[in-house]
Amino acid sequence: MHIMEGFLPSPWWQAWFAVSIPVIMYGIYKMNRLVKEKREILPLLAVAGAFIFVLSSLKLPSVTGSCSHPTGTGVAAIIFGPAISAVLGIIVLLYQALFLAHGGLTTLGANVFSMGIVGPVVAYLVYKAGMKANINFYAVVFLATAFGDWATYVTTSVELALAYPAGGVLTFAGFMSSFGKFAVVFAVTQVPLAIMEGAVSALLFKYVVNVKSDILIEMKVIEASIVKKLRGISA
Amino acid sequence: MSRKLEIIVLAILLVFTVQFVYMSSTTDAEYGGADGEAENVINDITGGTYEPIAEPFWEPPSGEIESLLFGLQAAIGAGIIGYFLGYYRAKSRYEDDLGYKDKSKPDSDRQSQ
């Protein structure tokens, strides 16, 4: 769930735009360069974007008795890095803001920051750390995408708590009190959904490794030796 | 091809589904959107004084239209994923199994045999 249209007062919505716009610009620059250098990357970029499209359209019920949706940005973050994921994320956020009244144009900056930037950054860092620790590749993908998803909603709670601190004045205590309330709504609901997102993302990666592992090796996502091992088991 | 990962993912989905069926039949949870609940929290904190600074300039006129557009979003995404994974799969098959290698020059006269 994204922050709804109109629900971030000044100066917060401007502030989140100010943070997000440079990242988007950098992402567009990186994406253009990548596509120019490696044309064959384009279909994979489309798959990563489409995955965000599918996952963020699925509103799933959670144990808390309310619904929310996964983000799907972790896959893009692992393959292309956080900046390009932010660009893919903004496409989905615009679609939902314009056609579904889900999220909004004034809150776009904040929503891009949580779903397009923080989520992918967390997914990317978890992925890199996990691969270094030599854990099973699919388990690492699971952890990275699940934590990325979850971080998105924790960030949403932070954004709302900053804008609506308890007592009306932004103090640490007020922030923490509001953060607790928003986190109950967003972060707790999201736990089972993050697990689902991690599982489905790992599955998508399995198919990508099976049919197009050379591109992942070229992008330095995984090493050739790991691909060999994975395909030895699963091919 | 080993199906271990598929089985694990299916098991997770199954646990999730069973949990949902059980919960929705034993409790009267509404399963509304979490953003609606966030709105309640905002009202709670501000004492209901907050006026949204902007309204969506177009809203789906009904729940049906909304689910249509969400369905469309999922369909577009699923179509793209299926198309390109199929494309890659066929491509790697031709290259691996049939020995057809279209190296750096696709315009060469090399043909599949």
Q: How far is CA A53 from the centre of its chain?
A: 12
* CB within 8 Å of A91: residues ≥ 6 apart: A49, A52
pLDDT at A18: 96
The 3-state DSSP class for residue A85 equals helix
Query: In B, which residues are within 8 Å of A64 by CB distance?
Result: 29
Interval A111-116 mean pLDDT: 96
Interval B91-106 mean pLDDT: 67
Confidence check: pLDDT of A22 > 80: yes
The residue written with tokens 């509001």 in the block is A178
Beta bridge partners of A60: A68
Beta bridge partners of A67: A61, B33
Kindly state whether A22 is in contact with chain B, defined as any CB-CB distance less than 8 angstroms. Answer: no
The residue written with tokens 């066929």 in the block is B90
- Please give the structure tokens belonging to residue A107: 């809150």
Q: How many CB pairs under 8 A join A and B?
A: 183
Q: pLDDT tens digits, residue range A58-81?
A: 989 888 888 899 999 999 999 999
User: How many angstroms separate the Cα of B85 from the Cα of each of A6, A43, A113, A212, A213?
Assistant: 39, 9, 30, 8, 12
Query: In A, which residues are within 8 Å of B20 by CB distance?
Result: 61
Alpha carbons A104 and A94: distance in angstroms, whole number: 8
pLDDT at B84: 94
Interval A89-118 mean pLDDT: 94
Confidence check: pLDDT of A226 > 80: yes
- Please give the structure tokens belonging to residue A104: 């909004």
Task: State the helix-helix crossing angle for A82-99 and A12-37, rounded to 10 degrees.
Answer: 120
pLDDT at A144: 97
* A132 exposure class (CB count in 10 Å sphere: 0-12, 13-18, 19+): exposed
Higher pLDDT, B109 or A223: A223
pLDDT at B113: 45
Q: Break chain B into its structural domains and give their ranges.
A: 1-54, 60-101
Confidence check: pLDDT of A219 > 90: no
Alpha carbons A118 and A138: distance in angstroms, whole number: 22
Shortest CA gap A216–chain B (Å): 13
Task: State the helix-helix crossing angle for A189-218 and A224-234, rounded to 10 degrees.
Answer: 110
Average pLDDT of the residues of chain B: 83
Q: pLDDT tens digits, residue range A146-202?
A: 999 999 999 999 999 999 998 888 899 999 999 999 999 888 889 999 999 999 999
Q: Which CATH fold topology does A12-234 show?
A: Arp2/3 complex 21 kDa subunit ARPC3 (1.10.1760)
DSSP, res A2? P
Shortest CA gap B104–chain A (Å): 12
The residue written with tokens 């599949």 in the block is B112
Alpha carbons A111 and A104: distance in angstroms, whole number: 9
Categorize the per-residue pLDDT at A235 as very low, low, confident or very high, splitting at 50, 70 and 90.
very low
pLDDT at A234: 54
Q: pLDDT tens digits, residue range B6-45?
A: 999 999 999 999 989 988 888 888 888 888 888 889 988 8
